[in-house]
Amino acid sequence: MNIQFMNVVVVLIEQRITPFANMLTRSQHITAMRDSFALAMPFVIVGSLMVPLIFPPVSINPFSWFGGYYQFVRPMLLPTFELTIGLVALIIAFGASASLAKQYQLPERLSGLTGCISFLLFIGFKTTDGSNVYLGGLGIFSALISSFYSIEVIRFFYNKGWCIRLPDEVPVMTRNGFQLLVPLLVVMLSVTAVNMTLKLTTGMILPGLISEAFRPLIIASDTLTAILISLIICNLLWFVGIHGALIVTGIINPFWMTYLFENQQALASGQAQLPHIYLQGFWDFYLLIGGIGSTLPLIFMALRSRSRQLKSVGKLGFIPSLFNINEPILFGFPVILNPIFLIPFIFVPVINACIAWYLTHLGVLDRAVAMLPWSMPSPLPGQQTAVGKTCLCACLRCSTPG
């Protein structure tokens, strides 16, 4: 690959992709989305750990000793699942509201609670059976929209001075509480009015309409084309030194969460095939083997190299790469802005994606029903996020080109 071609690629990325990526990086709403999912992650992981215990991949004889034990333990584990996975949209509503309020220099906790109230009004009252499906995965987009709406209303009223302002001698919490009264009232009344109007005219509340509006995008995002586009954009940004994963995953996270909960619901209802493939576990543990660009094999090559410098880089990056952290490799070789590594850096993860996608689509590999931290050491997590076929998952991660 000559220098002229390299310059063309770099100029193309800097002129076409970098400005848009920088805009997303500076976006306060994207940052709030990312922060809210980071806040929800430990709760989702704990809830995911309950999935194989509550919904085991094998049939259980209720008359056996294990069946009796299972029938005793399952009701004890269900609340953990329902109060984590089942309330994740409410957690995201608080996290997104608090993060956006912090960026706007508004009271974080009060704004976060306002976002939660706004979201609860968005999703309406509970159904006749005492449940509300929008508190879980189906309500993620509604949680984000209601949170952003409530914080923008608060910001607007604060900037205009349309608030109850008390003297500085009044304690801060009391002063902030009274200052929030007017925008809080406006948020609650406006959301209630919109929901009532929609209910009378369309027979649906706002979250139902939002789910219907996003349904085509949700379906389109769970395709091999969407995987390859997001992967290539992420790697191109990394190649010029921009944290592409931070940008791409910040946008895709709502879809990943929705897919995760729909897969878990399908598993709980006993469906033979789960609906979605492209979850966070697919991205983390099949496409980024050893970190961005699937650079783990590069470390093994460096460890066997005659170059003292490459051996040192390989030793330095070996342990972090097992946890999918490969910045020492990206900047130590370097891979960043190195024309020799451009093609393998971009296309090795693409090959991994195609292999993993088709094997999962054919049923050779199971679809994920759990969420684990992206830093889980390879090759353990691939099989742990799915139910069944554990050996095949491990073999796939060991045999793919990345």
The verdict on 260 and 166 lying in the same domain is no
Q: Residue 61 pLDDT more than 70? A: no
The verdict on 269 and 327 lying in the same domain is yes
Span 146-188, pLDDT tens digits: 999 999 999 999 999 999 988 888 888 899 999 999 999 999 9
The verdict on 230 and 173 lying in the same domain is no
Which region among 3-7, 119-123, 132-136, 151-155 has the lowest average model confidence (pLDDT)? 3-7
Q: Find tokens 């009271």 and name the residue.
A: 107
Q: Residue 384 pLDDT more than 90? A: no
Q: Is 316 inside any structural domain?
A: yes
Q: Give buried/exposed letters for 227-243 (b at 16+ CB in 10 A, else e).
A: bbebbbbbbbbbbbebe
| Three-state secondary-structure class, residue 170 | coil
Q: Is 244 inside any structural domain?
A: yes
- pLDDT computed for residue 80 by the predictor: 86
The verdict on 309 and 282 lying in the same domain is yes
Span 244-278, pLDDT tens digits: 888 888 889 999 999 999 998 888 888 888 999 99
The verdict on 325 and 370 lying in the same domain is yes
Per-residue tokens: 183: 């925008």
Contact 383, 372 (CB under 8 A): no
Q: Is 336 inside any structural domain?
A: yes
Q: Is 211 inside any structural domain?
A: no
Q: Is 215 inside any structural domain?
A: no
Longest dimension (CA), the chain: 75
Q: Residue 200 pLDDT more than 60? A: yes
- pLDDT computed for residue 380 by the predictor: 56
The verdict on 394 and 288 lying in the same domain is yes
Q: Find tokens 């460096």 and name the residue.
A: 302
Contact 115, 146 (CB under 8 A): yes
Q: Residue 1 pLDDT more than 80? A: no
DSSP 1: -
Query: What is the C-alpha to C-alpha distance for residues 233 and 239, in angstroms, rounded to an integer?
Result: 10
- pLDDT computed for residue 157 by the predictor: 96
CA atoms in the 13 A half-sphere facing the CB of 283: 31
The verdict on 245 and 193 lying in the same domain is no
Q: Say whether the peptide bond before residue 107 is cis (omega within 30 degrees of 0).
A: no
CA atoms in the 13 A half-sphere facing the CB of 245: 13
402 confidence band (pLDDT: 50, 70, 90): very low
Query: What is the C-alpha to C-alpha distance for residues 343 and 340, in angstroms, rounded to an integer?
Result: 7
Query: Dihedral angle at the C-alpha atoms of 186, 190, 191, 195, nearest 10 degrees?
Result: 160
pTM for the complete prediction? 0.83
The verdict on 69 and 164 lying in the same domain is yes
How many domains does one find in the chain? 2
- pLDDT computed for residue 391 by the predictor: 44
Torsions phi, psi for 386 (to 5 deg): -110, 170
- Residue 365 corresponds to which amino acid? L
- pLDDT computed for residue 392 by the predictor: 46
Span 88-129, pLDDT tens digits: 999 999 999 999 999 999 999 999 999 999 999 988 765 555
- pLDDT computed for residue 269 by the predictor: 83
Q: Is 377 inside any structural domain?
A: yes
The verdict on 91 and 175 lying in the same domain is yes
Per-residue tokens: 75: 């009701």
Q: Say whether the peptide bond before residue 349 is cis (omega within 30 degrees of 0).
A: no
Number of CB atoms found within 10 A of residue 123's CB: 24
Domain final position from 205, 237, 264: 205
Torsions phi, psi for 188 (to 5 deg): -65, -45
The verdict on 313 and 193 lying in the same domain is no
Residues contacting residue 176 through CB under 8 Å, at least 6 positions apart:
107, 110
The verdict on 350 and 393 lying in the same domain is yes
DSSP 334: T
Query: What is the C-alpha to C-alpha distance for residues 248 and 235, in angstroms, rounded to an integer?
Result: 10
The verdict on 199 and 299 lying in the same domain is no
Span 295-305, pLDDT tens digits: 998 999 999 98
Q: Residue 397 pLDDT more than 70? A: no
Question: In sequence order, what E strands does 206-362 have?
Answer: none
Higher pLDDT, 74 or 368: 368
Domain final position from 179, 205, 231: 205
Q: Is 8 inside any structural domain?
A: no
Q: Out of 42-46, 144-148, 313-317, give the one with best mean pLDDT.
A: 144-148
As a whole number of Å, the CA-based R_g of the chain is 24
Distance, C-alpha 383 to centroid of its chain: 19
Domain final position from 171, 205, 239: 205
Q: Is 9 inside any structural domain?
A: no
Mean pLDDT taken over the chain: 85
Query: Of 83, 100, 216, 226, whose CA–CA distance to 151 is shortest?
Result: 100
Q: Which domain holds residue 341?
A: 222-399
